[in-house]
Amino acid sequence: METLYTAIAHASGSGRDGHVLSEDNRIDLDTRVPREMGGSGDGTNPEQLFAAGYAACFLSALHAVGRTKKSDTADAGVSASVSIGKISETGFGLAVELDVYLPNVPTEQRRELVDAAHQVCPYSNATMGNVEVTLSIVA
């Protein structure tokens, strides 16, 4: 891989009950365990940060693919749902659902664009074979 950019972030405290700070100070957030997992929920959590990154990255990939296929992705949107759960007695895993909104793309072309974006998106490539990712097209 030819590196184009490297993001650097630091976690402190207890991880899920701690703080995250990017090297450029653009991200400066307290992290807390979600209420659903027995925590206070009074901060963000790694799953929310991953969901935000994946949604933004996938939308960017959709726009890139849309340009090559001359499709109008101007009003496109992506919502990412990231779930965490036990996969063994001591291990945890993630699952992702991407809801893709393509209002300006003809219905018959939407699946092709979404599948192509899934091949381009770095998050999709990083999770492929490791994390179950469901791609849903929302009308």
Q: If you classify domain 46-138 with CATH, what class do you get? A: alpha beta
pLDDT in tens, 75-116: 999 999 999 999 999 999 999 999 999 999 999 999 999 999
How far is the C-alpha of 116 from the C-alpha of 113, rounded, in Å? 5
Digit-coded pLDDT (tens) for 39-61:
999 999 999 999 999 999 999 99
Structure tokens at 114: 């979404």
**Length reported for the chain:** 139
Q: Diameter of the chain by CA atoms? A: 49
Encoded amino acid at 28, one letter: D
Q: Is the pLDDT of residue 125 over 80?
A: yes
- Domain positions in the chain: 1-44, 46-138
pLDDT band at 128 (very low <50, low <70, confident <90, very high): very high
Confidence at residue 139, expressed as pLDDT on a 0 to 100 scale: 73
Rounded Cα distance between 100 and 115, Å, is 11
- List CB contacts of 137: < 8 A, sequence separation 6 or more: 100, 102, 110, 111, 114
Residues 6+ apart with CB under 8 A from 60: 121
Which residue type, as a one-letter code, is found at position 35? R
Look at residues 130, 127, 134, 122 and name the one whose alpha carbon lies nearest to residue 1: 122
Question: Radius of gyration over alpha carbons of the chain, in Å?
Answer: 17
- Would you tell me how many other CB atoms lie within 10 Å of the CB of residue 128? 12
pLDDT average, residue stretch 5-28: 96
Q: What is the mean pLDDT of the chain?
A: 96
CATH topology of domain 1-44: N-terminal domain of TfIIb (2.20.25)
pLDDT > 90? residue 38: yes
